[in-house]
Amino acid sequence: MMKTDALDREGAFRRMGDRVEALGGAFRTAGDLGTTDADLAAMASRSSFVHTDTPNLAGAVGRGVLRCMEACAQAHGVPSLAGLRIAVQGCGDIGAAVARSLFRSGARIVVADLDRARAESLADEVDGEVSSPDEVLWLDVDVVAPCAVGDVLDARRVERLRAWAVCGGANNICTDMAAHHALHEGGILFVPDLISSSGAVIEGIGETVMGLDDRSGLIDALRETAAAVLHDAGRDGRPPMVHAIERARRRIDAASE
């Protein structure tokens, strides 16, 4: 969808809802970067396959990222996240949920957002610090958590990282496989975002498709999934993303039999 001055935004999202509905449930969608409650409401007026509970979905992502970071800590030989310094890039619904989850686990939080006031408000809430959006990924911290736009790490940027782990709620954190190889070869733990950011999908599908009253157990299981992928990567020298994709394909193939 292209944003222009002449765009009928509500009408455009209604038409998108029509297309989602036409897929008959094979595809479901929810809010993401730049969408509003009104956008989702317009889509949901035309399709039953649109998830509109953004705060709850964001909280599920926060919980999932937390569990995946716990797997990183375990792989690094650290007993918990308590006392670790973690930089969160992005203070929207996802970034805020991640920061709150980490704060409750005893981590020390640094946040950054293009909206300085929003970053300062979140920092006050989690007793954290505010950094510049241009510098937050390169801080001397234990873990960086990209939770805004994707494509923030390429092979050259990986060289600037001072953290020993990357685990966030953003989609497509790395620009390409070269970045994944650079992370792995540099000894930086990376939980593939198709695992770390999957809490919202689990929450939405768990409720509407699987009919589960409580999805927290499935989200908590991301810790074991992340730990397994990190272990396999350490065992055979291939990046975690390669193992995550192979694991996903095996599960899809098994479900299709």
34-85 tens-digit pLDDT:
788 899 899 999 998 888 766 688 999 999 999 999 999 999 999 999 999 9
User: Are residues 13 and 107 located together in one domain of the fold?
Assistant: no
| Span 175-221, pLDDT tens digits | 999 999 999 999 999 999 999 999 988 888 887 777 777 888 999 99
- Predicted local distance difference test score (pLDDT) of residue 80: 97
Compute the distance between CA of residue 179 and CA of residue 146 in angstroms, rounded to an integer: 15
Position 117 in a domain: yes
Q: Is the dihedral of CA 97, 100, 104, 109 positive or negative?
A: positive
Position 212 in a domain: no
User: Are residues 32 and 109 located together in one domain of the fold?
Assistant: no
- Predicted local distance difference test score (pLDDT) of residue 184: 98
pTM over 0.85: yes
In single-letter form, the type of residue at position 37 comes to D
Q: State the residue range of the domain holding 22.
A: 9-52
Compute the distance between CA of residue 226 and CA of residue 224 in angstroms, rounded to an integer: 5
Position 129 in a domain: yes
- Domain CATH number, residue 140: 3.40.50.720
Question: Over 80: is that where the pLDDT of 257 sits?
Answer: no
User: Are residues 73 and 186 located together in one domain of the fold?
Assistant: yes
| Span 141-154, pLDDT tens digits | 999 999 999 999 99
Position 19 in a domain: yes
Position 72 in a domain: yes
Number of CB atoms found within 10 A of residue 154's CB: 14
Q: Which of 19, 34, 52 is the last residue of a domain?
A: 52
